[in-house]
A = this chain, B = another copy of it.
């Protein structure tokens, strides 16, 4: 009996044919197709519910058995976890980007995609204390970072300061009538004023200006969320798990729910990630855990760029470089996506995601190719993302009996 499982999420895997073929249909993927024929069962999955396009954060939470309606804390805390910050109950966390501001107007939302080294040097200018609120910032890659407000009487019900457009900076506003939201918005606005002044004076920015680079002279806050401890994955499911991912958000989700999140060399969270390295890390984690969540982002990146061929080639690369490593582990393999992303629309859609479970000792449907149309006829039928964790625990003989 197989006693371990790997859940491989190819972000944004499913697609629409748009009169031609989907990336999964185009891809050369002899290994995945062989697994399907030899010991697979396929189906189509609505991660949240039929027709609903999820974000990557809510989708992964649902697949990991943490329904977002109950457990979604907003993007901020997940980003902060992803940055490796230590959160405390009640912290208000944000995604925080370095940006370029001229005459109170944002002229570059990413400070010219400032290099990670410069950003790291500016990091210390950003953390500060305002009245009784401690403000902690951590820069991650390029312009990206996360920021925490720690103090009493704060609220996540505040507006985003990042309009996602250039132009006048948005002051933070309370989103309800509470004193907590009012206080939080005021702190955010005071912080923005102080940090902009400090960054404006920094030597790093002087040097960048001299080199003709965009200055990183403000911070844009968005995705406010409050951190509340959730039951750990082990508490919830009785098995220990690990998360192998490159992107900060996915590592953050892993840490948020108490999965072990190893640092994986070459895992970039983008198209150029080292798939072999991730595969080996997943198999290595399987030695100490019963379950590994393995996240690959490239499929979604190519979809958002509208690059159908790139998406198909990336699936082919996963098939060639990653699948053989996973197959050798002897684990139950669940190969799917977190949502469908359309290369034509360049955005997430609410179409179901194809799912393939490789488990030759269990019930198989013998379907020879894996794609959206084969999956339509699969033995799993149409399933919901919330069933994935019970399904996996059952597959490896670690589910709990309901009743007696």
A interface residues (Cβ-Cβ under 8 A, vs B):
1, 16-19, 44, 48-59, 68, 72, 75, 223, 344-345, 347-351, 360-363, 365, 372-373, 376, 379-384, 387, 389-395, 397, 399-404
Per the bound structure, the CA–CA distance linking A180 and B360 in Å amounts to 51
The list of the 8 closest CB pairs from A to B, nearest first, reads A55-B403, A58-B403, A51-B390, A350-B394, A51-B391, A50-B387, A381-B382, A376-B379
The residue in chain B whose Cβ has the minimal distance to the Cβ of A365 is B376
Q: List residues of chain B with CB within 8 A of the CB of A401.
A: 53-55, 347-348
Q: Which residues of B contact A56 (CB under 8 A)?
A: 403
Q: Determine whether the beta carbon of A75 is less than 8 Å from that of B399.
A: no
Question: Complex Cα distance A214/B392, Å?
Answer: 44
Interchain CB contact under 8 A, A52 and B351: no
Contact status A59-B391, CB under 8 Å: no
Interface contact B49-A390, CB-CB below 8 Å: yes
- A77 shortest CB reach to chain B, Å: 12
Q: How far is the CA of A169 from the CA of B148 in the complex (A)?
A: 52
Residues of B within 8 A of A349 (CB): 394, 397, 399
Across the interface, do B49 and A387 meet the contact criterion of CB distance under 8 Å?
yes
| B contact residues around A1 at 8 Å (CB) | 344-345
CA distance A362 to B44 in the complex (A): 15
Interface contact B49-A17, CB-CB below 8 Å: no
What is the minimal beta-carbon distance from A211 to any residue of chain B, in angstroms? 34
Please determine whether B344 and A50 come into contact, CB atoms closer than 8 angstroms.
no
List, in ascending order, chain B residues with CB within 8 A of A395's CB.
51
User: Cβ of A391 and Cβ of B50 under 8 Å apart?
Assistant: yes
Q: Among the interface residues A52, A55, A372, which one has the most CB atoms of the partner chain B within 10 A?
A: A52
Q: Which residues of B contact A383 (CB under 8 A)?
A: 50, 382
CB contact between A59 and one of B223, B393, B403 (< 8 Å): that residue: B403
Q: Nearest residue in B to A61 (C-beta to C-beta)?
A: B403
